[in-house]
Amino acid sequence: MPFEIVRNDIVKMQVDAVVNSANPHPVVGTGVDTAIHNAAGPELLKAREEIGDIKVCEAVATPAFDLPAKYVIHVVGPAWVDENPVEEEMLKRSYRAALDVAAELKCESIAFPLLSTGNYGFPKSLSMRIALDEFSDFLLDHEMDIYLTVFGEEAFKLSNSLFKSIQSFIDENYVASKFEEEYGVDGEPYPASGASNLSPRMKARREAQREYAAEYTLGAPEPVEEAAVYGAPQILAEAIPDGKKQTLAEMIADMDAGFAETLLTLIDLRGEKDSAVYNRALVSKQVFSKIRNNPNYTPKKPTCIALALALELDFAETQEFLAHAGYTLSKSYLFDVIIMYCIENKIYNVVFVNNLLFERDLPQLGSK
């Protein structure tokens, strides 16, 4: 699928490019930087020395040498020292810089770590949210498989209020017992920034970062509703011709058509392009072509749900849409309950939905 969160060591990822959270100077840093250099061999450091210093938010590529990849894309992320929107914007630029380099190299796949979350102090949950935003935007216009690699069993929370809400929804709707024993999740507090006890090296880095940040300013952020933060861009809410008394759900139910024809009809009713829908759904062009050209082909349930979310169907519309593929959403399955929660709360961004599923070790949406 175009985007997937995986629990894996980034040095084992068989992709076109792996992203290194690099030191700004041509030396081997800590964490991911050390792991990548150790796995790639000494030639990687020699290539890095030829490049010299890299500025914050910039990315450059070298061969991957002994790694199972073609390239290492070295990107220098910001440090979380002043805890302000400028540093968040700089992290966004860092993710996008790596993606842009991968696009220039015509990479078909790329693996990221969570940038700036080690010694640079960014909260993992914040780096995760910024990464998901940038990946979502990038995939609207590019064909690339993006993997976000994480270690261990730790869950990354997009917001405390969101996860309290979804836990409450699960408690009320999921019929299985002993949920906490099987799927218990604990909140991860933001770590302290450490700004008051920085090492000399980090103090020097903070000053350099502030000089970079001074080159541009950010306006005051406009207040937004939380649902808008996690939802996909708005599309036509309803596209039923004037005079139709049926709801869209009733119209879908009355369609005497297979799944493919139903899907294509809904895309036309929304006034959408096929590519816009399958990109938002994280469904590959190849799979969508198979759906379009083979009326007898039925995609897997996660693919159908992803397409329903991309079309921003409500619960009743989604149930009728899935019925054309022989599926339904049931409160007997945790996977389905998570999807119900997202639909009820208008969380249509498939990348964010996949994060919610990943945290509970459930299958992710989309298709390869």
Instruction: Provide the total of helices (H) and of strands (E) in the chain, helices listed first.
Output: 16, 6
Tell me, what amino acid is at 228? A
Catalytic residue among 33, 53, 186, 336: 33
Q: Which residue has the tokens 């159908």?
A: 304
Show the 3-state SS of 29-98: CCCHHHHHHHHHCHHHHHHHHHHCCCCCCCEEEEECCCCCCCEEEEECCCCCCCCCHHHHHHHHHHHHHH
> At residue 305, what is the residue type?
I
Q: Are 68 and 12 contacting, i.e. CB atoms less than 8 angstroms apart?
A: yes
Encoded tokens for 48: 């890095």
In the block, which residue shows the tokens 């910001």? 78
Cα–Cα dist 127/329, whole Å:
32
CA atoms within 13 A on the CB side of 89: 15
How many residues appear in the chain? 368
Active site residue 33: yes
| Cα end-to-end distance, the chain, whole Å | 4
Q: Which of 16, 13, 17, 33 is nearest to 25 (CA)?
A: 33
What amino acid positions are annotated as catalytic residues? 33
